[in-house]
Amino acid sequence: DIQMTQSPSSLSASVGDRVTITCQASHDISNYLNWYQQKPGKAPNLLIYDASNLETGVPSRFSGSGSGTDFTFTISSLQPEDVATYYCQQYDTLPTFGGGTKVEIK
């Protein structure tokens, strides 16, 4: 199995701050990397697919980059509605998720 190491596990930032989450794969996964947002008590929501493609309807303050083993997810200006847990997911082989990053407002 490909292991996905996501960091940090949690963060607290102010409204308007730039927030960055990283995900490292244990093997080269090319660009087969997705990012999801999950709000408490809700199903996940796809934000970014194939490392850097913004899913339809997702605000442009969300972005992703990277290829191979190292990936980055960025919220350019944190909003109150962005409080959630964010997960990366590789699907170069059978899918695996990172451990998640809980984002809170300071």
**AA identity, residue 43:** A
70 binds another protein (CB under 8 A): no
25 and 3 in contact (C-beta within 8 Å)?
yes
Interacting residue with another protein among 22, 45, 63, 65 (CB under 8 A): 45
Which of the ranges 18-26, 63-71, 75-83, 87-95 carries the binding residues for another protein, by CB under 8 A? 87-95
Give the Å distances, CA to CA, from 100 to 9, 56, 68. Answer: 6, 22, 20
Cα dihedral value 66, 85, 44, 37, nearest 10: -50
Residue 16 CB, nearest approach to another protein (Å): 28
Residues in contact with another protein by CB under 8 A are 1, 32, 34, 36, 38, 43-46, 49-50, 55, 87, 89, 91, 94-100
